[in-house]
Chain A
Amino acid sequence: MAIRILLVDDHSVVRQGLRMFLSLDPELEVVGEASNGAEGIEQARKLKPDVVLMDLLMPVMDGITAIGQLRKEFPEMEIIALTSVLEDDKVIGAVRAGAIGYLLKDTQADELRRAIKAAANGQVQLSPQAAARLVREIKAPDSPEKLTERETDVLRLLALGRSNKEIASELVIGEKTVKTHVSNILMKLGLTSRTQAALHAVRIGLVSQ
């Protein structure tokens, strides 16, 4: 089944281009478009996409606010921030709000497709430079609840960039069980996304950068 995608960008030319390009890949399907954060939330409620491509600078409601609200409402929905500005506070804001990753609009088009598929599989992917910056900025609450041994295993693999499927086969458990572990991990750590969890794993030395 194709990955269902929602495009949220205030520039119609960008939405049009993305739709055209992504439609080449049979594994991807653009199911809707929105021109600002508020519209994006509305469309997400209606369409329940797997992945949202979210621009950050938009009128009415900006992307970071929309990411926060969507993650709260739909923890299963993964959001990729797609922006033409590489400003620290914007990137950090997006990850803190719960985006699984972010891409610059000058990223290779094929990389975009790969990133969407990784996000749909629950794979965390951050460039090393971005990770180093984010580790400093994104923090779990001071005394998080202790994770079980199994949860720690899942967190370590998640931080290594494995997909749900890969984690499942490595630990010899079901994919659904992996997802349950991930939501428990997020709850215990007081975090809202896999990316934040991965950064936490780096911080506590579970995996190296």
Chain B
Amino acid sequence: MLPMEFSRLQEELQKRNAELAEVNDALRESEQRLEQRVGERTREISTLLRVSHNITTTLELEPLLGLILDQLREVVEYHLASVSILENEDELLILAVRGEGMPPPGTRLPLGEHSDARNMLIERKPVFVPDLNADTPKARQMRSDLELQKLYGMGTWMNVPLVVREKSVGLLALAHQQVNYYDASRVDLTMAFANQAAVAIENARLFAAEQRRAEQFRVIHEVGKRITSILSLDQLLVETARTIRESFNYHHVHIGMVEGERVVFKTRNAANPEDEVFQCCEDVTPIVGREGISGWVAGTGESLIVPDVMKDVRFIPSKNDQTRSETAIPIKIKGQVIGVIDVESDQVDGFDESDLVVLQSLADQVAVAIENARLYEQARYFAALEERQKLARELHDSVSQALYGIVLGARTARTLLDRDPAQAAQPLDYILSLSEAGLAEMRALIFELRPESLQTEGLVAALGKLVNALGARHQLEVRLEAGDEPDVSIEVKESLYRIAQEAMNNIAKHAQAQHASLQLKVGNDELTLEISDDGVGFDTSQQFPGHLGMHTMRERAEKAGGTIAIESVPDAGTRIQVTIPTMAR
């Protein structure tokens, strides 16, 4: 090989080597860059994943929004940021902010007809301005969109939509002081984050709605449980109104009943008596079908939501009324409106369908409870009526007869005083014995009227009065044998007293007896009441109407946990023995 050729080749080789080394260097450099970028990307993605995990596992909406902004900072830096939710298609409600200068949470920003933000939300694509101060149309537009905000000192801006199921539900706004800091890759990264955030927000909203529903059902259940056990109608309505207001944080809750042609509110005591507006509303008695929102609902039997009372002619305003929206739900029994639940809010548009669902369900429960309360009051009324009739019969049988006898006796005595004073002694004695009998009757009857006296005075005293009254009334010789007051419950005492009373009445009415006796014996493990007479007796194998009382006596004895034995032979008297075991106590 020629030396020249060799050296040329060597030179060439060196050159190639150098080139190769250069390429290698370049490659290595590029590899390093790549590695670095991969590392960065991995870091970004892992950050994204981590923060995504953080935000998607947070279900409470408010802390979540704060968390979203804080986690966002780890992905993309910013000096100002806000999360807003799209409401009613045409305004943004700011829910959380970071940095000085943004409008506070709760601010509503109307979306201009052709604003960039609106277009962005429709197209679901992010918008960014690398240099806010540049003299470009986009920068000018953005400056005009943001004119109300103090954005001095900010160099770059981006708006990223929050998209759920291909629909924008809100937006994320970010600003950084450094011009051109936001570029396509940072916007992409933010968009990736925003997608996760949107799902998390949606989940949180669903969760909140679900929670609210669960709370509603809990309250419905709670109210139901509480009110079905209330048997006084007034108390029931007051308690229901109060529970509804407190559970759902409503402004005012009234419940009215349909009385004749008007709705009369019954829930005065459900709120503070010094709440004048509330009390004022309670005084209104709207005509069914003609006055007020409650009247309308009572007339039609349909629920109604009035989103803005100022725009509704049916609304009857009270002085200083803060009501801005109202809903009323009919309370129906068997298709007939018997009342109205009326709920007021101090905000326009304070009610939606879910309120209606809850209130309707409560109205149904109230209807059932009212029906219960009514039936109960009716039953009580009839029981009282029966008791009164029984008392009237007793009075007729005893005191009024005695008084009539006294009148006759006194009239006789008065006449005899003029005619033959010596003869007046007989009617006067008669008057005396009747007066004494009448007194005994009255004592026994008053005892009947005050059952608690069985507790205070005891069974033995009560039996004593019974024996005195009947003995005097029917000129019957009744012997009472009773020792110390037995140590048994008041229920058992009452049962025994009623049995003795029934038995003594039977003796007086049917037995034609000369003597009767009543014994109360306290044994070691049982209590015995025995009533016997020497009257005509009856055939115990026969059932006849006059002895319906026998059945009642048996029931009473069994109720007291005891037994009753009735022995009777025609013309040989009757003996009734009640035995109550006392060991079981």
A is bound by B: yes
Chain A residues packing against B (C-beta within 8 Å): 10-14, 16-18, 20-21, 24, 57, 59, 84-85, 105-106, 109-110
Q: Is the CB of A13 within 8 A of B509?
A: no
* B residues 400-430 touching A (CB-CB < 8 Å): 400-402, 404-409, 411-412, 415-416, 419, 426-427, 430
Q: B3 at interface (Cβ–Cβ under 8 A)?
A: no
Q: B212 at interface (Cβ–Cβ under 8 A)?
A: no
Within the complex, the shortest CB–CB distance from B218 to chain A, in Å, comes to 57
Given contacts A14-B408, A59-B546, 7 further A-B contacts (CB under 8 A): A13-B437, A13-B475, A17-B430, A21-B409, A24-B415, A84-B401, A110-B411
Q: Is the CB of A20 within 8 A of B400?
A: no
Chain B 369-404 interface mask (CB, 8 Å, partner A; 1/0): 000000000000000000000000000110011101
Q: Is the CB of B412 within 8 A of A59?
A: no
Contacts of B437 in A (CB 8 A): 13
Contacts of B405 in A (CB 8 A): 11, 13-14, 16-17
Within the complex, the shortest CB–CB distance from A99 to chain B, in Å, comes to 19
Bound-state Cα–Cα, A12 to B396, Å = 14
Chain B interface residue bracket vs A: 20 to 34
State which of A12, A105, A109 has its C-beta within 8 Å of the C-beta of B400: A105
Q: A11-B401, A24-B415, A59-B509 are in contact. Are A17 and B408 (CB under 8 A)?
A: yes
Bound-state Cα–Cα, A10 to B509, Å = 9
Contacts of A18 in B (CB 8 A): 408
Within the complex, the shortest CB–CB distance from B393 to chain A, in Å, comes to 9
Within the complex, the shortest CB–CB distance from B411 to chain A, in Å, comes to 4
A-B contact pairs, 24 of them (CB 8 A): A12-B474, A12-B475, A13-B401, A13-B402, A13-B437, A13-B473, A14-B408, A17-B406, A17-B409, A20-B426, A20-B427, A20-B430, A21-B409, A24-B412, A24-B415, A59-B509, A84-B396, A84-B400, A85-B396, A105-B400, A105-B404, A106-B404, A106-B407, A109-B411
Q: A16-B430, A84-B401, A85-B396 are in contact. Are A21 and B408 (CB under 8 A)?
A: yes
State which of A10, A13, A105 has its C-beta within 8 Å of the C-beta of B434: A13
Within the complex, the shortest CB–CB distance from A194 to chain B, in Å, comes to 27
Q: Across the two chains, which residue of chain A brings its CB closest to B396?
A: A84
Q: Is the CB of B407 within 8 A of A109?
A: yes
Contacts of A24 in B (CB 8 A): 412, 415-416, 419
Contacts of A12 in B (CB 8 A): 474-475
Q: Is the CB of B401 within 8 A of A20?
A: no
Bound-state Cα–Cα, A57 to B434, Å = 20
Q: B221 at interface (Cβ–Cβ under 8 A)?
A: no
Bound-state Cα–Cα, A115 to B243, Å = 69
Bound-state Cα–Cα, A109 to B408, Å = 7
Q: Is the CB of B475 within 8 A of A21?
A: no
Bound-state Cα–Cα, A18 to B405, Å = 8
* Residue in B400, B412, B474, B510 whose Cβ sees the most chain A Cβ within 10 Å: B412
**Which 9 residue pairs are nearest across A and B when measured between Cβ atoms?**
A17-B408, A17-B405, A109-B411, A21-B408, A13-B405, A105-B404, A11-B401, A21-B412, A20-B412
Q: Is the CB of B404 within 8 A of A14?
A: yes
Bound-state Cα–Cα, A109 to B397, Å = 20
Bound-state Cα–Cα, A110 to B406, Å = 15
Q: Across the two chains, which residue of chain A brings its CB closest to B433?
A: A13
Chain B 507-541 interface mask (CB, 8 Å, partner A; 1/0): 00110000000000000000000000000000000
Contacts of B416 in A (CB 8 A): 24
Q: A59-B509, A59-B510 are in contact. Are A20 and B408 (CB under 8 A)?
A: yes
Q: Is the CB of A14 within 8 A of B411?
A: no
Within the complex, the shortest CB–CB distance from B272 to chain A, in Å, comes to 52
